[in-house]
Amino acid sequence: MFSSPVLLFALSSLAAAQKCKLQFDGRVPSNSALTGFDAANQLFSSANVLGAGLKFSQLLKLPAITGSLFDTNTIPVEVTISDASIFNGQTGFRRAELIPASNSGTDPSTQGVKTVHFSLMKDGQRPLNLSHEYQLAFLESADFSTNQVVVKTGTILGQNTANPDTLQVIGNVNKGATVLFSTPFAAGVFHNFGLALDFNKLTTQVFFSTGNNPLKAVTQAVANDVSGQGQFHFGVLKKGVNGQGDITKNGVQEPNINEGIIFGGIFEEDSSANCVSLAP
C-alpha cells in the first residue's frame, strides 16, 4: 500500500518529465558546424535576421559550455552583433536573430495553445551595453505591427528602468506593454523561460528557472493579446539611444561593438492538452 507522500512524489516527477508534442525544435545537435547555418537547414532560417552581406557563420558561435536545462543531447548557440549588424537599412538598430525554420509567420506555431521554450546566458567576453534597450526573444506579428510578447533587457525606451541589468517579459507592446515578469540577469548561469501562449483565449503564462532547476510557473495565465500570428526571434536586437521619430533609422549606436547572448534549448511544444514540460 502506498503512503501518500510517495504517491505525491511519483505524480510530481511524472508531471516534471512529461513529453509534449513538439511544434518546432531549434536545439542544436552537438556535431553541428557553423557553416550549416548558412544554407537551408532544419533548425533556423538561413536568410533572416542578420546584417546585410553577412552569413550566420560569421556571427554565431558554439561556445564550449555546459548545455542548458533542455539541452540534454544538444549544445548552446551564441548570437553576436557587430557594427555590421545592420538589417534592411535599419541604421538605428544593430541586430541578429534566429527564426525557427518552420515558422513562416502563418504556421501552427502561433495557433492553438503552445509553449515556447528558450534559455539565455550572458557572455562575459561580449557584454551588452545596458545604456541601450535590447530585445532578446520576441514574437513579432505577421503584419510587423507589434510584438505580442518580448523579453527585454537594458534601459528600456519609454520605461523608467530601475535596474537595467534585468530580464523583463513584456506583453503586447501596442496594448500597454505590461511587464508580466522580471528577474535579475545574473552572470554565468542560464535563465530558462517557458512562455505558454493561448492563441484562442489570448493569454500568456510565464514559467521560469535558472540553471538546471525545473521550470516553475511565475505568473498565472494573464490576458495578453497574442493574436496576429508571426515569427519568433531569438537573438540580440539593440536599439539606439535618443532616437527621434522612426527608431529603426534613428538613434545613437556607438562603434566598435562586440556583444553577444548565448541561447540554449529553443523549442516549442503543443500545450493544447495542458502539457508543459518543466524539465527534460
Q: Using CB atoms, what's the residue nearest to ligand NAG?
A: 129
Cell numbers placing 3? 503512503
The footprint of ligand NAG (CB under 6 A) covers 129, 131-132, 241, 252, 254
Residue at grid coordinates 554565468 = 188
Cβ contacts of 138 within 8 Å, gap of 6 or more: 147, 149, 150, 151, 232, 233, 237
Residue placing its CB nearer to ligand NAG in the complex, 84 or 221: 84
Pure H helices in 211-269: none
Phi/psi zone of residue 158: left (φ > 0), alpha (ψ -120 to 50 degrees), beta? left
User: Cell for 110?
Assistant: 502561433
Minimum separation from the CB atom of position 213 to ligand NAG (A): 32
CB of 24 to ligand NAG, least distance (A): 34
Instruction: For ligand NAG, give the closer residue by CB, 114 or 239.
Output: 239
Q: How far is the CB of 242 from ligand NAG (least distance, A)?
A: 8
Nearest CB to ligand NAG, comparing residues 129 and 227: 129
Nearest approach, Cβ of residue 130 and ligand NAG (Å): 8
DSSP conformational letter for 164: S
Contact 153, 217 (CB under 8 A): no
Instruction: Give the angle 116-17-79 at the CA atoms, nearest 5°.
Output: 35
Give least dist CB 155 to ligand NAG, A. Answer: 9
Q: What is the grid cell recorded at 109?
A: 506555431
Q: Which is nearer to ligand NAG, 4 or 242 (CB)?
A: 242
Q: Which is nearer to ligand NAG, 100 or 240 (CB)?
A: 240
Q: Tell me the C-alpha distance between 124 and 155, whole Å.
A: 19
Which CB atom, from 3 or from 242, has the smaller least distance to ligand NAG?
242
Q: Nearest approach, Cβ of 122 to ligand NAG (angstroms)?
A: 15
Give CA angle at 106 (182, 177), nearest 5°. Answer: 25
